[in-house]
Structure 1
Amino acid sequence: MITAVAKFLAGLVATLGVLIVIARLAFPLPEIENRQDTQALPPTTEGALAQALAAQEEAHAGQTGVAPLQNGADAFAARILLADAAVSSIDAQYYIWHDDLTGTLLLGALRRAADRGVRVRLLLDDNGTAGLDPELAALNAHPMIEVRLWNPFNLRRFKMLSYGFDFFRLNRRMHNKSFTVDGHATILGGRNIGDEYFATGPTALYVDLDVLAVGRVVADVSADFDRYWRAGAVHPAGPIVGAPPEGDPLAARLAGLEREPQLEEYRQILQSSDIVTALAAGEFGVEWTTAQLVSDDPIKGQGAVPREDLLASRLADAVGKIEHRFDGVSPYFVPGRAGVEAYAQLGAQGVQVRMLTNSLEATDVLPVHAGYAKRREEMLRSGVELYELRQQAAVAAPTDRIGPFGSSGASLHAKTFAVDGARIFVGSFNFDPRSTTLNTEMGLLIDSEVMAQGLHDAFDADLRGLAWRVELEGGDLIWKDPQTGAVTTDEPGTTLLKRLALTVIGWLPVEWLL
């Protein structure tokens, strides 16, 4: 009986192997041929943005100016207005670009810039481009726009089926997010491009955080974009998405938005915002300081790299010794055994460690919560203080802000941490194995007492009741409302089916994928 089963399994594995080989031969990626790898243009000396920043850049030579973009609508307006002010170049790099209201409006802004003679380079992870092939093909046909895709999928319809025969390549994604204009200003942080990241639309909204940076670090971001633009995992979009369709798919999509009720609201936001004038007048809240770009080597998109070359290792070196406090925010928090040990070591050294992540009721990725939940008790016993963002109906979300990471929403998406009231990191990096070893990531480590202390203050205030405080009481987990003192022993948002799923996923050897 055992021999028969073994033969059956061996035959099944062999058959699957043959099918995978056939599929890879039948659906190959186009060869990368005659690719011209352009470089970032030097900072322009002309245009409204250059003029607005000239005096400040001269007065703060060698420094970086940073301003947090906490509100989703403001973060959207900043990108549109910078694109509309561009006179030389726009380099945009994103993990997700949705085909919704904000995604379409931003594509329109890129094309308007190109029509004025601005060179546009758009680098997208192909995992997040669903439904956009016609628009990307049309944009790529514009003489001033070039679109490239990171680890593109072999199949354009039913894209996810490509994982069945090219899993290990497609499992490595580009999670970076940056938007750089005229070599003078860049926006980077946690936000992708889509309605849920900019506080609009019918889907769950995200609590997120970006920073606008000007000055010294912009050149580093541009150089980093160039590294990714010429990476081996990057393909010109033309052979992937095909020839541009007849007509103008982007114009048609923009025309269809005229019926969207949110469009008028965003027009009003744009009309009332003037980032260039505010920068020129010193009224945008820019803090001049030092900031360091930390990013993965894009070779990570083609396979494993030495641990010392990972962003996580470089970031730890850049942060240096933590003396007193570490407060972190990560929507997808899967510390693994090594992370638990690292937090325990910090606690043993007298460092207060506090983490905010999504609660079960707020998360949008149940398996990731399972990876966190299996380590939750270990972390609490080692002294880590845990908070879980409570689910809030978008229409009931308060308009005031939680320190440096925005107003309450349905799901946490910001990725940030503060150290010793002196430094703060803002970027795309989650505290999970996927960000550490599989996806490429980037972010800024900023010397800012104001921003770092703002995050510490938010934790000191127990996040103003917007998160559950998770504790151990008598060996059992409890969820406490810090403001009212109310306690529940049932995990908020739990059901029998979810508890079963969390348990089963926790048993599986999939932590490295989360």
Structure 2
Amino acid sequence: MRRIFLVLLVVVVAIALARFFFRLPSLEGRSETLALAPDPETPLGKALLPLDAAHPGLTGIRPLWPGIEAYAARMVLARAAQQSIDARYYIWQRDGTGLPLLQEMRAAAERGVRVRLLVDDNGTPGLDAELAALNTLPGFEVRVFNPFTLRKPRALSYALDFPRINRRMHNKSFTVDGVATIVGGRNIGDIYFARDAEVQYSDFDVLATGAVVPQVAEDFDAYWNSASAYPQDLLVTAPADLSAFDTALAETRARPGAEAYARAVSDSSLVQSLLANTLALEWVPVTLLSDDPRKALGEAPAGSLVATALAPLVGRARQSIDVISAYFVPGLQGTERLAYAARQGLRVRVLTNSLEATDVLPVHAAYGKYRAPLLASGVEIHELRRNPGTEAERKALGLIGSSGASLHAKVFAIDRTAVFVGSFNFDPRSVWLNCEMGFWIESPSLAAAISDALDRGAASTAWQVGLAPDGTLTWTGQDGTPTGEEPGTGAIKRAMLALLAWLPVEWMM
């Protein structure tokens, strides 16, 4: 017993010393900057500000379903930028889409555009050197949200300050010249933009202009100037020049398929149509929902969370609730709300990842506990298959050319009249730990499109989970024959799921 006590004492002392010697730097002297007012003389300003004035109080939206279109939208907006680019992301990968987009932002900075890039430190482990180099450019400033105190290996920082490190900035937005923004579920990386040949994420973004853009700009400023945003040069020593970045970029562009993908991006007519006022936009009421950045420190004021705002909005449903969530862990309260809606006669449907499609096994274990009570109340559950049907069916999910799929979108639609699109998953991590954001869009056409996509695609791209008379679960595919064995399982994986479901870690999922 004494030996155990001494070991614990040594561990506690070691952690205390490490926390003392590896502290976060002081933010004293850090400058505060704000979004630039839109300039009506920039090409985007000339094209979009008159449209905004013609639709007071409304937002023009364009859904971005296919991954390559969503990437092209970011690339060509960056090329069109003349005044500012404000971007923030949870993950930014060092790959065939991440590096070229950074290069496009670098080119913008070199022609005088002010670039502000805010990245979460958990999602950029391989980009320290590249971001530090870009941060030395005039007009290109990088800040890191909620940084790890140890750069290598970062995971050790969890032992030093777990309560803080466990909270992340999951937000995603890309705003150009203060007049156009992209918000949704996608991070930056090949897997999100149909660039990865093996596995792709089915995801969803919205391009927006009009009344909601100033809300996004103000929200970005709140995060940029928050107590969790650290200038990159306080954390990483910058390299002497950009030669390493240039080498990495050249290697990326030399990879198989890179030229064809770049050509497809260049062929996008989205921004040209935007500048020519020929791009079809739907003008509707849109509200930004975003967590107070103090959530990252566990200090968000009551009532300032996305979950708090979403609950009454979803509670308005009188006919249907459609939930598309990559990570779906409703908990007791969420399960009861969805079950109550189903018992009241609403059609409640959920599309999430199957075991074979998920990339986070503990989340699936936590979610599995709620399937039976949801199904018993009348909620429909569909789980995306790893290989979702024909090319046409994959195309409907934005999975062109993919041999494997995983759901990453976070979308809720009610009554075929309104939609939430953003970074918020239906899980405890999104509710309590991660900073999240998204758009509440009052668009019957978009809500109907999402519901119709579920109508058409659920049977061909997903397993329908059912409840047998004896209370066990079944999975039914296209052939209509139910099976009692969960697709993608074996004895070892079933044992792992049982163990993970037993562990008291659902609050982190």
Q: Distance in 1 between matches of 2:133 and 2:81?
A: 21
Q: Distance in 2 between matches of 1:212 and 1:313?
A: 25
SS state at 1:99 partner: coil
Counterpart in 2 of 1:497? 492
Q: Distance in 2 between matches of 1:494 and 1:265?
A: 37
8 A Cα contact 2:149 2:157, kept in partner: yes
Q: Distance in 2 between matches of 1:153 and 1:168?
A: 12
8 A Cα contact 2:43 2:275, kept in partner: no
Q: Deviations over 1:398-454 (max 9, x none)?
A: 466437x76675100000010011001100000000000000000000011111011
TM-aligned CA distance change 1:402 to 1:274, over 3 Å: closer
Q: Distance in 2 between matches of 1:443 and 1:465?
A: 29
TM-aligned CA distance change 1:252 to 1:462, over 3 Å: closer
Counterpart in 2 of 1:15? 10
Q: Which structure 2 residues correspond to residues 62-211 of structure 1 after superposition, within 5 A?
A: 62-211=57-206
8 A Cα contact 1:82 1:275, kept in partner: no
SS state at 2:97 partner: helix
Aligned residues: 506
The code of the aligned residue for 1:239 comes to: L
8 A Cα contact 1:48 1:276, kept in partner: no
- Unaligned regions of 5+ residues in structure 2, if any? none
TM-aligned CA distance change 1:106 to 1:284, over 3 Å: same
SS state at 2:115 partner: strand
- CA deviation after TM superposition for structure 1 residue 258, in Å: 3.2
Q: Does 1:477 align with 2:482?
A: no
Counterpart in 2 of 1:384? 379
Q: Deviations over 1:330-366 (max 9, x none)?
A: 0100111111111122223222211000000000000
8 A Cα contact 2:144 2:230, kept in partner: yes
Q: Distance in 1 between matches of 2:394 and 2:496?
A: 35
Q: Does 1:28 align with 2:23?
A: yes
2:447 to 446, 452, 456: 452
8 A Cα contact 1:402 1:463, kept in partner: no
- CA deviation after TM superposition for structure 1 residue 47, in Å: 2.2
Q: Please, which moves more after superposition, 163-172 or 78-87? A: 163-172
Q: Does 1:41 align with 2:49?
A: no
Q: Please, which moves more after superposition, 471-480 or 169-178? A: 471-480
Counterpart in 2 of 1:257? 252
The code of the aligned residue for 2:171 comes to: N
Counterpart in 2 of 1:278? 273
The code of the aligned residue for 1:244 comes to: P
TM-aligned CA distance change 1:110 to 1:12, over 3 Å: same
- CA deviation after TM superposition for structure 1 residue 203, in Å: 4.9
Counterpart in 1 of 2:396? 402
- CA deviation after TM superposition for structure 1 residue 188, in Å: 0.6
Counterpart in 1 of 2:358? 363
- CA deviation after TM superposition for structure 1 residue 58, in Å: 2.6
1:435 to 430, 434, 457: 430
Q: Distance in 2 between matches of 1:128 and 1:139?
A: 17
Q: Deviations over 1:101-143 (max 9, x none)?
A: 1000000011000011000000000001111111111111111
Q: Distance in 2 between matches of 1:219 and 1:56?
A: 15
Q: Please, which moves more after superposition, 127-136 or 52-61? A: 52-61
8 A Cα contact 1:138 1:248, kept in partner: no
Q: Distance in 2 between matches of 1:225 and 1:255?
A: 32
Per the normalisation by structure 1, the TM-score is 0.95
8 A Cα contact 2:200 2:399, kept in partner: no
SS state at 1:308 partner: coil
- CA deviation after TM superposition for structure 1 residue 201, in Å: 2.4
Q: Please, which moves more after superposition, 278-287 or 367-376? A: 278-287
Q: Which structure 2 residues correspond to residues 415-426 of structure 1 after superposition, within 5 A?
A: 415-426=410-421
Q: Distance in 2 between matches of 1:343 and 1:96?
A: 31
Q: Please, which moves more after superposition, 257-266 or 487-496? A: 257-266
- CA deviation after TM superposition for structure 1 residue 304, in Å: 5.0
Q: Distance in 2 between matches of 1:139 and 1:203?
A: 31
Counterpart in 2 of 1:341? 336
Q: Does 1:294 align with 2:289?
A: yes
2:321 to 322, 326, 337: 326
Q: Does 1:225 align with 2:237?
A: no
The code of the aligned residue for 2:159 comes to: G
Q: Does 1:309 align with 2:294?
A: no
Q: Distance in 2 between matches of 1:85 and 1:363?
A: 37
Q: Distance in 1 between matches of 2:343 and 2:302?
A: 25
Counterpart in 2 of 1:240? 235
- CA deviation after TM superposition for structure 1 residue 277, in Å: 2.1
SS state at 1:341 partner: helix
Per the normalisation by structure 2, the TM-score is 0.95
Q: Distance in 2 between matches of 1:294 and 1:12?
A: 47
TM-aligned CA distance change 1:235 to 1:267, over 3 Å: same
Q: Deviations over 1:365-398 (max 9, x none)?
A: 000000101111111112211000000189x744
Counterpart in 2 of 1:372? 367
Q: Deviations over 1:279-322 (max 9, x none)?
A: 24444331111100000000001115455322101122344521
Q: Does 1:507 align with 2:502?
A: yes
Q: Distance in 1 between matches of 2:316 and 2:191?
A: 36
- Unaligned regions of 5+ residues in structure 1, if any? none
Q: Distance in 1 between matches of 2:59 and 2:275?
A: 15
The runs of at least 4 aligned residues of structure 1 exceeding 4 Å deviation read 405-409
8 A Cα contact 1:176 1:428, kept in partner: yes
- CA deviation after TM superposition for structure 1 residue 149, in Å: 0.4
The code of the aligned residue for 2:122 comes to: N
Q: Distance in 1 between matches of 2:393 and 2:476?
A: 23
8 A Cα contact 1:70 1:208, kept in partner: yes
The code of the aligned residue for 1:275 comes to: L
Q: Distance in 2 between matches of 1:491 and 1:284?
A: 44
Q: Distance in 1 between matches of 2:71 and 2:337?
A: 37
Q: Deviations over 1:442-482 (max 9, x none)?
A: 0000011111011112233352410000000122111011x
SS state at 2:451 partner: helix
SS state at 1:40 partner: coil
- CA deviation after TM superposition for structure 1 residue 13, in Å: 3.1
Q: Distance in 2 between matches of 1:297 and 1:486?
A: 47
8 A Cα contact 1:180 1:187, kept in partner: yes
